[in-house]
């Protein structure tokens, strides 16, 4: 990938446009996809990462498991909290009371933030610099995101090659990738997999190594992580704002269920229970009612009072989908089916 990354901007742009024309995509999507895969390659090739690194979230569903067809501006990553010194008695799971657990979670967040800023960012910047010093384009940057209150997110502004971008260009295809880091995720179950960019898939002969190895959270675990997020949103107070493009989680759950991976996941209610237990410790919420996110009482279908809000959010999110976008009504129908299927297992 590095040899292509160092090609003149005009050469890169020509190939991005060629692949985009073949696939019916916006060329900016093809460019961003390449740099996301290039970033993942170097993340998982670090010689001495601060702690075990894990790839997870929506981008993994698209690039590794290929069960969704949407672009994300984020790469979700997690450090192993044990590798940061929070195993055994220091693990928040081991806390004996709420106050102790809150202190443990704060200490974990502080440590993670310090590791990102003092070790991970300089290390990654040095690697990027080594490989991009000859890149021709608009330059590049790797810095802390200024909109993350936890200060655990990095932004990689990659060397753009497609010329002047429109002022009203959607944020998700702007020439920057967010690396959303943290240490609260559970690293189980995981698999070793590979990612390949659209360019490498269409023109593999141009790449010495068209795929890059990654360590990724299983799709089944991601299914339940997202399903429990939908359950929490169902229980949210009526005045609580919905996160921007939150409807992507509804789309992801539906598309996964329509694949064998999702149907396999709903049979693994033991994994659901493990996800619930983890969220109650690491993502506590008084209103989420995670204890009810189990067969018999799981809620995936949004409340009727918020359907219009969700429909509008989905309409704005659909531009991120590069395949055929299901209708909003289809999403609701399938979510109803999933909810019924999971809840029926409580009586089996």
pLDDT digits 0-9 by tens, 37-64: 999 999 999 988 778 999 999 999 999 9
Q: Is 302 helix (H, G, I), strand (E, B) or coil?
A: coil
Q: Which residues pair with 155 in a beta bridge?
A: 143, 178
What's the pLDDT at 347? 75
Question: Can you read off the two tokens belonging to residue 348?
Answer: 């089996």
Cβ–Cβ < 8 Å for 35, 158: yes
Return the pLDDT at 164. 76
Residue 136: the pLDDT is 54
Q: What are the residue ranges of helices labelled H in 161-259?
A: 198-202, 219-235, 247-257
What local confidence, expressed as pLDDT, does residue 207 receive? 95
Q: 140 has which bridge partners?
A: none
Query: What's the burial of 239, exposed, middle or buried (CB within 10 Å: 0-12/13-18/19+)?
Result: exposed
Residues of the chain with pLDDT under 70: 134-138, 348
Q: What's the chain's Rg over C-alpha atoms?
A: 21
Tell me: cis bond preceding 189? Omega within 30 of 0 counts: yes
Q: Supply the pLDDT for residue 290.
A: 97
What is the sign of the dihedral through the CA atoms of 227, 284, 192 and 265?
Answer: negative
With H, G, I as helix, E, B as strand and everything else as coil, classify residue 258.
Answer: coil
Predicted TM-score (pTM) of the model is: 0.95
pLDDT at position 49, please?
A: 77
Strand 74-79 relative to strand 177-180, pairing: parallel
As given in the structure block, the two tokens for residue 211 are: 């795929």
The residues with which 74 forms a beta bridge, in sequence order, are 178
Q: What tokens appear for 42 in the block?
A: 């170097």
- Best CA proximity match to 249, nearest among 38, 55, 13, 58: 58
Q: What pLDDT sits at residue 134? A: 65
pLDDT of residue 343: 96
pLDDT of residue 348: 65
DSSP-based three-state secondary structure for 301: coil
Residue 230 makes CB contacts below 8 A (sequence gap 6+) with 249, 250, 253, 299, 300, 302, 335
306 dihedral zone (left: phi>0; alpha: psi -120 to 50; beta)? alpha
| 159 alpha carbon, distance to own chain's centre | 22
- Which pair of structure tokens corresponds to residue 296? 């018999």
CA 284 – CA 12 distance, rounded (Å): 46
pLDDT value of position 138: 61
Identify the pLDDT of residue 137: 53
Tokens of 145: 């995101």
Q: pLDDT at position 224, please? A: 99
* 3-27 pLDDT per residue, tens: 999 999 999 999 999 999 999 999 9
CA–CA separation, 31 and 40 (whole Å): 14
């Amino acid at each position: 990938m590095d040899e292509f990354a160092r090609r003149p901007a005009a050469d890169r742009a020509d190939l991005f446009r060629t692949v985009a024309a073949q696939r019916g995509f916006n060329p900016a999507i093809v460019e961003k996809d390449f740099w996301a895969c290039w970033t993942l390659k170097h993340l998982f090739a670090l010689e001495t990462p601060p702690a075990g690194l894990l790839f997870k979230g929506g981008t993994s569903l698209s690039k590794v498991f290929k069960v969704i067809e949407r672009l994300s501006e984020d790469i979700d990553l997690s450090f192993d909290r044990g590798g940061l010194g929070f195993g055994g008695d220091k693990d928040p799971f081991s806390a004996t009371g709420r106050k102790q657990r809150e202190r443990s979670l704060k200490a974990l967040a502080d440590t993670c933030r310090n590791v990102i800023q003092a070790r991970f960012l300089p290390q990654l910047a040095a690697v990027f610099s080594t490989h991009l010093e000859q890149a021709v384009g608009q330059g590049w940057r790797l810095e802390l995101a200024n909109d993350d209150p936890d200060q655990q997110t990095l932004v990689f502004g990659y060397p753009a090659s497609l010329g002047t971008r429109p002022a009203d260009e959607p944020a998700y295809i702007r020439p920057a990738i967010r690396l959303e880091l943290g240490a609260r995720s559970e690293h189980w179950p995981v698999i070793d997999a590979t990612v390949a960019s659209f360019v490498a898939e269409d023109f593999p002969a141009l790449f010495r190594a068209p795929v890059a190895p990654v360590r990724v959270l299983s799709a089944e675990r991601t299914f339940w992580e997202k399903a429990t997020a939908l359950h929490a949103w169902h229980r949210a107070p009526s005045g609580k704002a919905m996160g921007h493009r939150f409807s992507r989680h509804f789309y992801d759950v539906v598309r996964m269920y329509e694949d064998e991976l999702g149907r396999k996941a709903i049979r693994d209610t033991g994994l659901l229970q493990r996800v619930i237990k983890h969220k109650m410790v690491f993502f506590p919420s008084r209103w989420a009612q995670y204890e009810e996110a189990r067969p018999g009482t799981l809620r995936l279908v949004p409340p009727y009072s918020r359907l219009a809000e969700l429909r509008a959010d989905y309409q704005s999110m659909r531009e991120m989908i590069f395949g055929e976008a299901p209708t909003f009504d289809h999403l609701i129908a399938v979510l109803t089916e999933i909810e019924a299927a999971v809840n029926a297992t409580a009586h089996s």
